[in-house]
Amino acid sequence: MPNPFLGVEGASVSFGQGEARVCALRDVSLTFERGTLSLLMGPSGSGKTTLLSMLGCLLSPDEGTVFVDGVAVNGLSEAERTVIRQKKISFVFQAFRLFHSLSALDNVALGFEIRDAAASGRKEMARDLLLQFGLGDKLHQEPDDLSPGEKQRVAIARALAGNPPILLADEPTASLDAEAGRNICNILRRQVDEHGRTVVVVSHDWRWEKFADRTVTLCDGKVEEEVSVL
Ligand SMILES: Nc1ncnc2c1ncn2[C@@H]1O[C@H](COP(=O)(O)OP(=O)(O)OP(=O)(O)O)[C@@H](O)[C@H]1O
Ligand SMILES: [Mg+2]
């Protein structure tokens, strides 16, 4: 069997020691096919962010294996994992995490700089992405002057700088109203359909269901249910 494109095999993660020890994930095995959008649901504390952090090479499991782009990454050195994280993976968060003193354009251009310091034409590439996301008239605005939906579009544009094949989003629509949320769902779906990216969205938001190829529900650190759309 070839390695999965993205996934975990027999992964367990715990935090703390002794009495304070919390088991965040218990023997979880999941694979995420290339070019799919998976929705990860489950109650608070069920391990969703922990799983996303593992897939994003920010956290290593106590036991088990993590695969990114078909490579078992927890056998690699920290430096090798960092390279994989920079080249292959991008994150989107509920709180946007934009740089407040930079314009929308500079936020996205910085994304290109971080991924590929040698890249030329960063501003032009950043402008193209923002135009695609309907932000052509907001290029020079700073985040504080943008609506929540616009901020999230800038954050996604920044995440896509450098063309990463994997996008991991933790509650990307939780701070958005219905229309802005739908817009973000459409944008991330297009990343799958038009660019073949692999997208994993953690959300409590049922609006995501019709945009996802499958839904995985975690409970108490285990996979409770996995439902694919055929
Ligand atoms: N850095 C940490 N230190 C200690 N415990 C942690 C840490 N990160 C997560 N946990 C614990 O691990 C469990 C799973 O947490 P996790 O953040 O993955 O849940 P979640 O499903 O993302 O929840 P939420 O929906 O509230 O974001 C919880 O019991 C949490 O308290
Ligand atoms: Mg979480």
Cβ-Cβ contacts under 8 Å for 78 (sequence gap 6 or more): none
Encode pLDDT of 162-217 as tens digits.
899 999 999 999 999 999 999 999 999 999 999 999 999 999 988 899 999 999 99
| 145 within some domain | yes
Tell me which residue has its CA closest to atom 26 in ligand 1: 44
Ligand nearest to the CA of 55: 1
Tell me which residue has its CA closest to atom 5 in ligand 1: 15
Nearest of 199, 205, 96, 211 to residue 150 by alpha carbon: 96
CA of 225 to the centre of ligand 1 (A): 19
Encode pLDDT of 112-144 as tens digits.
888 877 777 889 999 999 999 999 999 999 999
| 50 within some domain | yes
**Joined tokens for residue 215:** 């839904």
| 201 within some domain | yes
Nearest of 85, 43, 39, 4 to residue 218 by alpha carbon: 43
Q: Is 52 in contact with 168 (CB distance < 8 Å)?
A: yes
| 188 within some domain | yes
Mutate to test the pocket of ligand 1, among 8, 13, 46 (most ligand atoms within 8 A of CB): 46
Q: Taking ligand 2, which is a single-atom ion, which protein residues have CB atoms under 5 Å away?
A: 49
Regarding the beta carbon of 17 and ligand 1, being less than 6 Å apart is answered no
Ligand nearest to the CA of 93: 2
CA of 2 to the centre of ligand 1 (A): 31
User: What phi, psi does 54 have (nearest 5°)?
Assistant: -70, -45
Q: Is the pLDDT of residue 23 over 70?
A: yes
Q: Is the pLDDT of residue 230 over 70?
A: no
Ligand nearest to the CA of 47: 1
Regarding the beta carbon of 38 and ligand 1, being less than 6 Å apart is answered no
Query: What's the number of domains the chain is made of?
Result: 1
Q: Is the pLDDT of residue 155 over 80?
A: yes
Encode pLDDT of 29-79 as tens digits.
999 999 999 999 999 999 999 999 999 999 999 999 999 999 999 889 999
pLDDT of residue 182: 95
Instruction: Give the global pTM.
Output: 0.95
- Residue 84 belongs to what domain range? 6-228
| 95 within some domain | yes
CATH code of 54's domain:
3.40.50.300
pLDDT of residue 115: 83
| 1 within some domain | no
pLDDT of residue 75: 86
